[in-house]
Amino acid sequence: MAETSTETATVQEVDRKVHLHPFTSAAEHADGVPRLMVEGSGIHVRDNGGKQYLDAMAGLWCVNVGYGRDEIVDAVSDQARRLPYYHTFLSMTNEPAARLAERLISLAPGHMSKVFFGSSGSDTNDTQVKIVWYYHNVLGKPEKKKIIARQRGYHGSTLAGASMSGMPHMHDPFDLPLDRFIHVDAPHYWRHAPKGLTELEYSASLATNLEECILRHGPETIGAFIAEPVQGAAGVIPPPEGYFQAIVPILRKYEILFIVDEVICGFGRLGEWWGSQVYGLEPDLMSTAKGLTSGYVPMSACLISDRVWKVLRQGSSQYGAFAHGYTYSGHPVAAAAALANLDIIEGEGLVENAAKVGAYLQKSLREAFVDHPLVGEVRGVGLIAGIELVRDKESKEPFDPSLAVARRLHELLMGEGLICRAMFESLGFSPPLILSNENVDSIVEMFSKGLKKLTAEVGGARG
Ligand SMILES: Cc1ncc(COP(=O)(O)O)c(C=O)c1O
């Protein structure tokens, strides 16, 4: 029998020996010292050395109500004591799942009709793909199966989620994307728009490219288009002006379902309940997770519009049971956590707070950093923001990726007690929605210090 070392070794030693981590270099982890977080309260987390960090990423964009909320802990323990588990297959239900589905429908845009539960953003997006395929089969269009996603979009790391994600580093090592997944332009005006184009003109050009792509593949083969309202893991890219207004009519013209991935943007992050509200979207299918439970317990939910639901219902006579689902679909403990979490978001006016403090965050970041020689762009909406680093401000020349400057800045910021997220050449911010203006000032102060250190290391910038 293998020897266990838990009693003598530190947690970090054990971890690096036996734990394969997500989105982590296996070799670096095996040879390094993992960071060990031990507790959290409000917007802060603390490591095993007692160092406190302002978590300006809310974990992985998810701890919307902040750490240490007894209301959620109590709801979880009460439910676990009463009924820790029962499944929702074969028409079984439980009270928290039913109540949560009703609540989500009441919060969602008006045309949403049904909820399908899962445990992660990835599985919810896989469910969406299967719903799209089912939908077109029921309608007698078995060819209409391809899914269009966007470069640098992120939709999870399951087979369909990763196939939809427009991230080459997630494709090459795993022989992805699968067939049937296509990628169109990332909607990043500052980085990709040809000189002289206005945002509206750039949006129109992206819509033209999308239509050309659809026609090239044949509209009869395209089942759905998926988009995040604001691209998160791409480095926080809000759409350029008029983008969705230009894209959506093309989807409608060719009867292509519109999946809106609200996994990051949902539950108040942009200063409205949904990114769809901010950009005036009417999704056929909505993916949610993260802020649904603020990460206290894993849970996700696909919201299904009335239009799609009618076809699913029609499919029963053809296919019998909707043969898709997870052991943990509608998990009662997760649903109880979600209900308590939604009580907090509503009761404390956190969506309104995200709008108010978000406006201050956007203004403060721009004022503090937009003129910095290493900063190419400061962008964001509500309580989500990105700062993109450049080697040459004038020409927008990026740093050599091998220098990993964003990762280096992330490390320097950890030293200052600030957690941001390095993504490509950008640093991301997605703090808990309980943030105050004073907290924003602290973020700016710590970020300034880190950036100053980075500037000293890379020797300033050109331009
Ligand atoms: C927009 C979006 N969709 C889906 C996912 C996948 O969620 P999960 O990691 O819970 O599978 C993420 C995760 O960051 C995301 O940002």
Domain edges within the chain: 35-65+349-458, 71-347
For atom 13 of ligand 1, the residue with the nearest CA is: 156
Residue 459: pLDDT band with limits 50, 70, 90: confident
Q: What's the pLDDT score for residue 462?
A: 56
- Test site for ligand 1: of 119, 154, 259, 296, most ligand atoms within 8 A of the Cβ: 154
Average pLDDT over residues 313-335: 97
- Test site for ligand 1: of 57, 64, 264, most ligand atoms within 8 A of the Cβ: 264
pLDDT of 248 higher than 60: yes
153 CA distance to ligand 1 centroid (A)? 10
Is the pTM value of this prediction over 0.85? yes
**Which ligand 1 atom sits closest to the C-alpha of 60?**
14
Q: What's the pLDDT score for residue 7?
A: 58
**Which ligand 1 atom sits closest to the C-alpha of 232?**
16
157 CA distance to ligand 1 centroid (A)? 8
**Which ligand 1 atom sits closest to the C-alpha of 158?**
11
**Three-state DSSP class for 295?**
coil
User: Mean pLDDT of all residues in the chain?
Assistant: 96
Residue 122: pLDDT band with limits 50, 70, 90: very high
Q: What's the pLDDT score for residue 463?
A: 42
Question: CATH for 35-65+349-458, among 3.90.1300.10, 3.90.850.10, 3.40.50.720, 3.90.1150.10?
Answer: 3.90.1150.10
Assigned token pair, 462 = 């050109």
Average pLDDT over residues 41-63: 97
154 CA distance to ligand 1 centroid (A)? 7
**Which ligand 1 atom sits closest to the C-alpha of 119?**
10
For residue 203, CA distances in Å to 40, 279, 456 come to 42, 14, 38
Please give the share of the chain, as a percent, with pLDDT higher than 90. Answer: 96
> What is the CATH number assigned to the segment(s) 71-347?
3.40.640.10
pLDDT of 4 higher than 90: no
H or E element at residue 74: helix 70-82
Rounded CA gap, 270 and 259, in Å? 18
H or E element at residue 381: strand 375-381
**Quick one: how far is CA 331 from the chain centroid?**
22
Pair type for strands 285-288 and 300-305 = antiparallel
Give tens-digit pLDDT for 402-454. Answer: 999 999 999 999 999 999 999 999 999 999 999 999 999 999 999 999 999 99
Rounded CA gap, 98 and 238, in Å? 34
For atom 7 of ligand 1, the residue with the nearest CA is: 121
Burial zone of 195 (CB within 10 Å; 0-12 exposed, 13-18 middle, 19+ buried): exposed
Rounded CA gap, 275 and 264, in Å? 9
**Quick one: how far is CA 340 from the chain centroid?**
21
- Give the burial string for 150-180 (b: 16+ CB within 10 Å, else e): bbbbbbbbbbbbbbbbbbeebbeeeebbeee
Pocket of ligand 1 (CB under 6 A): 60, 120-122, 125, 154-156, 228, 232-233, 261, 263-264, 289
Average pLDDT over residues 331-349: 98
Task: Please choose, from the candidates 280, 285, 277, the residue with its C-alpha nearest in 3D space to the C-alpha of residue 307.
Answer: 285
Instruction: List strand residue ranges (DSSP E) for 204-324, in order.
Output: 222-227, 257-261, 285-288, 300-305
Rounded CA gap, 117 and 382, in Å? 27
For atom 3 of ligand 1, the residue with the nearest CA is: 155
195 CA distance to ligand 1 centroid (A)? 33
